[in-house]
Chain A
Amino acid sequence: MKKIFTIFALFILMIVSLHAQQSPGKDHSKLNITCKTCHTCDVPTKSDPCLVICPREKIATVYQKPEETPDLITIDQISDRYGPVHFSHKIHAQMSIMSGGCKNCHHYNTSGPILKCNSCHEDTRKRDDISRPDLKGALHRQCMDCHREWSHETGCNTCHTLKKNVKEIQPDQVKKKLAGMAHPVLLEPTKIVFETNYEKGKMVTFFHDDHTKTFKIECTTCHKNETCLKCHDTKKVSDEKSKIVKAHKSLDEHHKQCFSCHKEDNCESCHLNKQAEQFDHGKKTGWALNKFHVNLSCVNCHGSKIPYSKLDNKCVSCHKEWNNENFKHTITGLQLNETHAQLNCEDCHAEKNFAIKPVCTNCHENYIYPKQKPGKLVRTK
C-alpha cells in the first residue's frame, strides 16, 4: 500500500513539476532580482501576474552547449513569396558563443522550456500590440544585423529560395550538407605582451591562460557581444573567403576590459619594464598553496564573484566547521601527544589565530615552539 502511495505521490510531483516549467519556479521570489524586473504591479497574483512584456533577461536561463542543440531548424510559418528557410542552428550557436550566446536570439526567455519565437512575436503585421516587432520583422532582425555586418549585403536569396525553385532544396539535403560542419575552434593565446607608450612601464603582459584556465573566468566575461566583424569582414578582401582582420581599439577600450576587475590596481601593477611572471598564489598573496589547497579551484575559497575577493589567512574563515572535537591536528604535520590533545585550540593559539606561532608560555615557562613540541612531527599524506 505504502509503495503504491509513493508511486502516486511521485506521479503527482512529476505533473506538478512539468507544469511548473512554464513558470519561473516557485521560489523565484528568492532570486537576486527585484520584482519590478518582471512585474509591473506591486502585488502580482496568480490570476493577474501583471508581467512586463520584456525584457526579462535577468532571469533568462537558456543555456545549452551548441553541440546539444538542433542541427537544423526549418522556418516556414510565414512563407509567402519564398519557400521555407533552413536555418543551420548548431553552427550559429557555435558562432554566437562570444557574441551574446543563446540569449542573443532566445532573449527574454524565462527559465523553463525554450519558447517559440511566435509565442511573443505575432505572425500578422496588422495587429493591436505593436510594442514588439511581428514575426517576420523579428526573425529578419535577428539574422540581418550580423549578416549585413560582414557581407554588407541584404540580398534575400542568401537565405531564401523563391517558391518556384523550392523543389531543388530539400531539408534532407541541407541536413547532409551541414552534418559535421562546425565553426573552427577558436585558438586561445597563452599570453599576450602589449607594448605601450606608458613611460614608467612599457610592457603589459596578459596571461590569457591564467584567466581562463587558472581563474576559470568564462570567455563571455570579457568577450561580450563580439560581432562576426571582429574577425570577418568581406569588404576587406577580394577573395570570397573572409579574412581575419585586426580590430583596432582605443586606449579606453583596452583598459576597460582589465579595469572591470582590476579596479584597485595602480598603473605599475600591469605596466612593467619587463615581462611579468605568471600568476603564483604564494608570491602574489603571501599564502602559498600547500598540497591540499593547490587542488582546489579558485571559487571553492573565493566564491564565484569576479573579481575574486581577498580572504584572510585564518583557517576557520573557510573551515568554519572545525572545532576542538573534530579537528585532526595530524593534518598540520604535527601529531599532538595525549596531554595536549585534551586542550582547547586557544590554549596554544592565542585568539585562535593560527597564522602566528603558537605559545607555550601559558603553561610552560621558557618553552618556545618549535624548539619544544607538543607532540611529534609526522608526514601527512
Chain B
Amino acid sequence: MSGKSRRDFLKTSAVIGAGVAGLSSSTAKAAPKNILSEDRMGVLVDTTVCVGCRNCEWACKDAHNLPAGNLESYEDRKILETKRRPDIKALTVVNEYSPGKNSNLPLDVKVQCMHCDHPACVSACIVGAFSKEENGTVIWDTDKCIGCRYCMAACPFQVPAFEYNKAINPLIMKCDFCFNRTKEGKLPACVSICPVEALTYGTRTELVKVARERIKRNPGRYVDHILGEHEVGGTAWMYLSSKDFKELDFPKLGTNPAPGVSESIQHGIFAYFVPPVSLYALLGGIMWITKHRKELDQEEKL
C-alpha cells in the first residue's frame, strides 16, 4: 500500500537525528524533489478584475471530486459577507473587501496555495511527502503523508488544511495547482472557468512582465506592488491589487524564504525547541507507525 517501508522511514529519521548531532545540513535532508525550473508556470491574480463570482471555487471542487453543488447556487453573494479560508472542502475561496483606490467596485480576492518558489512545506515535511515539481506546482504524496501537520505550521500563508473530521488516516489538503490537469496540457480548472480572466496562467517570468506592464500603464488603478514577486523568495501565484495587501489579509512577509527553507528543517524550526529533533523524529515515527497500523487495520476490516 504505502510506497515507503517502515525501515526506509526509520532510516530517514536516523539521518535527521544525525543532522542535529553535527552533520552538515545537506546530508541531513530527506531530499525531497524540489525543482526550481526556469520555465515554471504561475498565475497572476488581478484582484481589480475579479468580480467575485466564485465560479473558480465551483470549478476547483468539480475538478477535485469535492461536493460542488450546482454552479448557479454560487450567485448568492451573501457568503462573501464573512471571510473564509481554504479548507479541506474548498481548496480555494474568494473573499470580498471594500473598494480600492479610484473604484466603486468591491475588491475580490481568491485565496489558495501560492506554490512558493522555496516552499516551506516541502522543507518542513519530515517524510518528504511534499515536492516542488518542474512546472512550479507544489504537491504532496498522500501515500507518504503521515498527517503530522508540520507543513501547516511552516506555511507562511497558512494554506494546508487538515482533515480533522476524519478519524481514520486524516491527511493534508490544499490546492494542487491542478497538477493532474496541467500534466495533460489543460489549464487549471479555476483559470479555465474565470469569466473575466482575473487569473492569467503563464510562465512566471512572463507573468511578472505582464504585471509590471499593467501597473505602468495604469498607475491609477494599481498599487505598485506585485505580491509574490519577492515575498518569501517568490511565489508562483502572484497578485495585483488597488489597495495595500495588508488590508486584504495577506500576512506581511519578508523577501527571504520562510524559516527552515534555505537551511535544512532542523536548523530553522527545531532550533527554537528545547527537545532535540530526535524527539520530533520519534513523534513523527510514532505517527507514521500509527497511520500505517490504522491503514492495516482498515485493510483487515475490509
**Could you tell me which A residues sit within 8 Å of B by CB distance?**
55, 125-126, 130-131, 133-134, 136-138, 140-141, 144-145, 148-149, 152-157, 227, 229
A140→B194 CA distance, assembly (Å): 10
Q: Check B169 for interface membership: any CB of A closer than 8 A.
A: no
A249→B28 CA distance, assembly (Å): 65
- Select one of B185, B186, B196, B213 contacting A141, CB under 8 A: B196
Q: Do B197 and A154 have beta carbons less than 8 Å apart?
A: no
A136→B192 CA distance, assembly (Å): 10
Q: Do A126 and B197 have beta carbons less than 8 Å apart?
A: no
Q: Do B213 and A229 have beta carbons less than 8 Å apart?
A: no
- Select one of B75, B104, B197, B213 contacting A134, CB under 8 A: B197
Q: Do B195 and A149 have beta carbons less than 8 Å apart?
A: no
A227→B72 CA distance, assembly (Å): 28
A30→B3 CA distance, assembly (Å): 72
Q: Do B104 and A137 have beta carbons less than 8 Å apart?
A: no
A292→B91 CA distance, assembly (Å): 77
Q: Check B63 for interface membership: any CB of A closer than 8 A.
A: no
Q: Do A131 and B210 have beta carbons less than 8 Å apart?
A: yes
| Residues on A with beta carbons closer than 8 Å to the beta carbon of B196 | 133, 137, 140-141, 144
- Least CB distance from A4 to B in Å reads 54
- Least CB distance from A324 to B in Å reads 58
A354→B186 CA distance, assembly (Å): 80
Asked if A125 meets B75 with Cβ closer than 8 Å, knowing A136-B195, A154-B52, the reply is no
Q: Check B265 for interface membership: any CB of A closer than 8 A.
A: no
15 further contact pairs, Cβ within 8 A, besides A133-B197, A140-B196: A125-B201, A126-B185, A126-B201, A130-B202, A130-B207, A133-B200, A137-B196, A137-B197, A138-B197, A141-B196, A152-B77, A153-B77, A154-B53, A156-B53, A156-B75
Q: Check B217 for interface membership: any CB of A closer than 8 A.
A: yes
A134→B200 CA distance, assembly (Å): 9
- Least CB distance from A254 to B in Å reads 18
| Residues on A with beta carbons closer than 8 Å to the beta carbon of B187 | 125-126
A137→B75 CA distance, assembly (Å): 18
Q: Check B20 for interface membership: any CB of A closer than 8 A.
A: no
Asked if A144 meets B210 with Cβ closer than 8 Å, knowing A130-B200, A137-B194, A137-B197, the reply is no
| Residues on A with beta carbons closer than 8 Å to the beta carbon of B75 | 153-156
By beta carbon, the residue of chain A nearest B195 is A140
Q: Do B52 and A141 have beta carbons less than 8 Å apart?
A: no
For window 172-209 of B, CB contacts with A under 8 Å fall at: 185-187, 191-192, 194-198, 200-202, 206-207
Interface size on B, residues (CB 8 A): 27
Q: Do A229 and B49 have beta carbons less than 8 Å apart?
A: no
- Least CB distance from A128 to B in Å reads 9
Q: Do A149 and B105 have beta carbons less than 8 Å apart?
A: yes
A144→B213 CA distance, assembly (Å): 23
- Least CB distance from B5 to A in Å reads 41
- Residue from A134, A145, A154, A157 whose CB has the most chain B CB atoms within 10 Å: A154
Q: Check B51 for interface membership: any CB of A closer than 8 A.
A: yes
A227→B105 CA distance, assembly (Å): 12
A-B contact pairs, 24 of them (CB 8 A): A55-B217, A125-B192, A126-B186, A130-B206, A130-B207, A130-B210, A133-B197, A136-B195, A137-B49, A137-B195, A137-B198, A140-B51, A140-B197, A141-B196, A141-B197, A144-B51, A144-B196, A149-B104, A153-B75, A154-B51, A154-B53, A157-B72, A227-B104, A229-B104
A213→B206 CA distance, assembly (Å): 51
Q: Do A125 and B197 have beta carbons less than 8 Å apart?
A: yes
- Least CB distance from B38 to A in Å reads 16
A149→B198 CA distance, assembly (Å): 18
A134→B197 CA distance, assembly (Å): 7
Q: Do A136 and B217 have beta carbons less than 8 Å apart?
A: no
A156→B71 CA distance, assembly (Å): 10
Q: Do A131 and B213 have beta carbons less than 8 Å apart?
A: yes
- Least CB distance from B194 to A in Å reads 7
A133→B197 CA distance, assembly (Å): 6
| Residues on A with beta carbons closer than 8 Å to the beta carbon of B217 | 55
| Residues on B with beta carbons closer than 8 Å to the beta carbon of A137 | 49, 194-198
| Residues on A with beta carbons closer than 8 Å to the beta carbon of B202 | 130
| Residues on A with beta carbons closer than 8 Å to the beta carbon of B77 | 152-154
Q: Do A125 and B51 have beta carbons less than 8 Å apart?
A: no
| Residues on B with beta carbons closer than 8 Å to the beta carbon of A149 | 104-105
Question: Top 8 closest A-B pairs, CB basis?
Answer: A137-B197, A140-B195, A130-B202, A154-B53, A133-B197, A140-B196, A155-B75, A154-B51
A318→B156 CA distance, assembly (Å): 72
Q: Do B49 and A141 have beta carbons less than 8 Å apart?
A: yes
For window 33-77 of B, CB contacts with A under 8 Å fall at: 49, 51-53, 72, 75, 77
Q: Do B201 and A136 have beta carbons less than 8 Å apart?
A: no
- Least CB distance from A199 to B in Å reads 33
- Least CB distance from B34 to A in Å reads 27
- Least CB distance from B177 to A in Å reads 15
- Residue from A130, A136, A149, A152 whose CB has the most chain B CB atoms within 10 Å: A130
A138→B192 CA distance, assembly (Å): 14
- Least CB distance from A230 to B in Å reads 10
A245→B195 CA distance, assembly (Å): 30
Asked if A148 meets B105 with Cβ closer than 8 Å, knowing A130-B206, A137-B194, A141-B196, the reply is yes
- Select one of A125, A131, A153, A154 contacting B191, CB under 8 A: A125
A227→B99 CA distance, assembly (Å): 16
| Residues on B with beta carbons closer than 8 Å to the beta carbon of A144 | 51, 195-196
| Residues on B with beta carbons closer than 8 Å to the beta carbon of A153 | 75, 77
| Residues on A with beta carbons closer than 8 Å to the beta carbon of B198 | 137
| Residues on B with beta carbons closer than 8 Å to the beta carbon of A130 | 200-202, 206-207, 210
- Least CB distance from A122 to B in Å reads 11
Mark interface residues in B104-115 (1 if CB within 8 Å of A CB, else 0): 110000000000
A130→B186 CA distance, assembly (Å): 16
- Least CB distance from B189 to A in Å reads 12
A137→B187 CA distance, assembly (Å): 15
| Residues on A with beta carbons closer than 8 Å to the beta carbon of B195 | 136-137, 140, 144, 156
A227→B52 CA distance, assembly (Å): 20
| Residues on A with beta carbons closer than 8 Å to the beta carbon of B192 | 125
